Amino acid sequence: MWDRLYASAFEKVINRLGNIGRVLLAYNTNIDAIKYLNSRDLEERVNRAGKEEVLRYSEELPEKIMSVQQLLGSILWSVKLGKAAELFVESCSTRFYMKLWGWDELRMGGQVGIMANLLGGVYGIPVIAHVPQISRLQAGLFKDGPIYVPKIENGQLRLVHPKEFNADEESCIHFIYEFPRGFTVFDFEAPRENRFIGSADDYNPNLFIRTEFRKNFDEIAKNVDLAIVSGLQALTKDNYREPFETIRGHLEVLNDRNVPAHLEFAFTPDETVRKAILDFLGNFWSVGLNEVELASIMEVIGEKRLAEKLLANDPVDPIAVTEAMLKLAERAGVKRIHFHTYGYYLALTDYKGEFVRDALLFAALAAAAKAKLGDVHSMDDIVKAMKVPVNERAKPVEEALAKEYGMEKGLAEVDDYQLAFVPTKIVEKPKSTVGIGDTISSSAFVGEFALKMG
């Protein structure tokens, strides 16, 4: 059944992507310098930096990175737990160390950058992107296609491709240390593939918003159909107020124009910021998150037991996820919650229709292509992802949903909501893991509107 649903959803979505006008993407764009870790090299570096001190940092992540020992310790923390983490690198000498260590690949990074290349460069949907700093290196990572950044010339706002922006601003580089499942270093073995990110970037972590966006937002937002917001995750209790005020203003403009906005949640370590985002969520139409992010929200609303349940099983217990999504929907007042985890996705919506599920299926194909290749180059890559088998481990998840909510063909009614489920396609040996979540959320969001508008 699922193979059939996958094929028909794909046909439907690609034929209708042209229905979408402009999508606004704000705020975080950077350069990802990807290093595929090598055990011997990493062990030698740890020994040279002082193994005892490094191991201490592998027990608990620091708040930010102030030394090479903290950097290496944080990488070991990620490997040991198979968990993703991202920290701001404050120390210049550590930034220099990372630069010398080098990278295997330079790739577009940040939710906005990744989504701009996918929506604009592959799906052909016109996008307006917020790029905090446009260096030549950053601009060169944008694919050709209808991707625009605002530029003020002679007092007039113009939309130009980032390559035509011709400014020589700073490069915001995030060093991504990727490791495969089973990667071993000393006595640690990675339970699953993942990455540690060290951001040598003074703009995105502070949610720097460009003058063009602060002064001309009304005009920028004039002709957009949809918006996707991201990049709030690195803020702290000390610096979140100002950007939040600007974003609140932007959302007012979007809501006045009835432009549905999606928030890509991303893991937000600072509890004050997480609570502030939660209080603010009602301004969005939709939100996208994974199990760790959903659990972190349950924690701040006092649902500790549910938070633990979300992290207890693999695959994640779908009944606990549904309960948590219902709580979030009631509390925040968003119309759509899109949950993704390794092996399946769920969407809770206050409206009904097969198009919600079909958009999730389309997103799972895009995710499989991204996992396999590291970057989606063309629609053809997504077509080829059809060959990746549907995840067998999602069967018990589907059975549990059928038993609890009478789910059929991935659709059920739960309270006054619709719950849509899809088992995903899992790539056995992914090229890398960074950016798959962004691929999933943006594809499902635009896919849904493409189907609805068609």
Give the C-alpha separation, 70 to 49, whole Å.
10
- 197 near ligand GLC, judged by CB under 6 A: yes
Q: Which two structure tokens, joined as six digits, stand for 420?
A: 């849509």
Smallest distance from ligand GLC to CB 407, Å: 30
Taking each helix axis from N to C terminus, what angle separates 304-312 and 318-332, rounded to the nearest 10 degrees? 140
Q: Which of ligand AMP, ligand GLC, none has residue 30 at its interface (CB below 5 to 8 Å by kind)?
A: ligand GLC
Is 438 among the residues known to form the active site?
yes
Strand, coil or helix: what is 3?
Answer: helix
Q: Which of ligand AMP, ligand GLC, none has residue 25 at its interface (CB below 5 to 8 Å by kind)?
A: none
Give the C-alpha separation, 121 to 37, whole Å.
29
Position of minimal CB gap to ligand AMP? 437
Burial environment of residue 186 by CB neighbours within 10 A (0 to 12, 13 to 18, 19 or more): middle
Residues 149, 162 contacting (CB under 8 angstroms): yes
Among 201, 225, 381, 438, which one carries the catalytic annotation? 438
Smallest distance from ligand GLC to CB 109, Å: 3
Task: Return the amino acid letter for 213.
Answer: F
Smallest distance from ligand AMP to CB 137, Å: 24
Residues 79, 185 contacting (CB under 8 angstroms): yes
Total residues belonging to the chain: 454
Burial environment of residue 385 by CB neighbours within 10 A (0 to 12, 13 to 18, 19 or more): buried
For ligand AMP, which is the closer residue by CB, 149 or 426?
A: 426
Smallest distance from ligand GLC to CB 53, Å: 26
Q: How far is CA 46 from the centre of its chain?
A: 30
Question: 426 Cβ partners below 8 Å, 6+ apart?
Answer: 342, 343, 368, 371, 388, 391
- 235 near ligand GLC, judged by CB under 6 A: no
- 30 near ligand GLC, judged by CB under 6 A: yes
Q: Which of ligand GLC, ligand AMP, none has residue 303 at its interface (CB below 5 to 8 Å by kind)?
A: none
For ligand GLC, which is the closer residue by CB, 201 or 358?
A: 201
Q: Which two structure tokens, joined as six digits, stand for 87?
A: 């920290």
Smallest distance from ligand GLC to CB 193, Å: 15
- 110 near ligand GLC, judged by CB under 6 A: yes
For ligand AMP, which is the closer residue by CB, 113 or 126?
A: 113
Out of 74, 78, 199, 349, the residue judged to bind ligand GLC by CB under 6 A: 199
- 430 near ligand GLC, judged by CB under 6 A: no
Residues 157, 151 contacting (CB under 8 angstroms): yes
Rg (CA), the chain: 21
Q: Which of ligand GLC, ligand AMP, none has residue 340 at its interface (CB below 5 to 8 Å by kind)?
A: ligand AMP
For ligand AMP, which is the closer residue by CB, 84 or 334?
A: 84
For ligand GLC, which is the closer residue by CB, 110 or 120?
A: 110
- What DSSP state is assigned to residue 122? I
Cis peptide before 315 (omega within 30 of 0): yes
Q: With contacts defined by CB under 6 A, name the span among 178-186, 366-374, 413-421, 429-437 that binds ligand GLC.
A: 429-437
Binding site for ligand AMP (CB under 6 A): 290, 340-342, 367-368, 371, 424, 426-427, 430, 433, 436-437
Give the C-alpha separation, 351 to 355, whole Å.
11
List contacts with ligand GLC (CB under 6 A). 28, 30, 32, 86, 109-111, 114, 174, 197, 199, 434-435, 437-438
Catalytic residues: 438
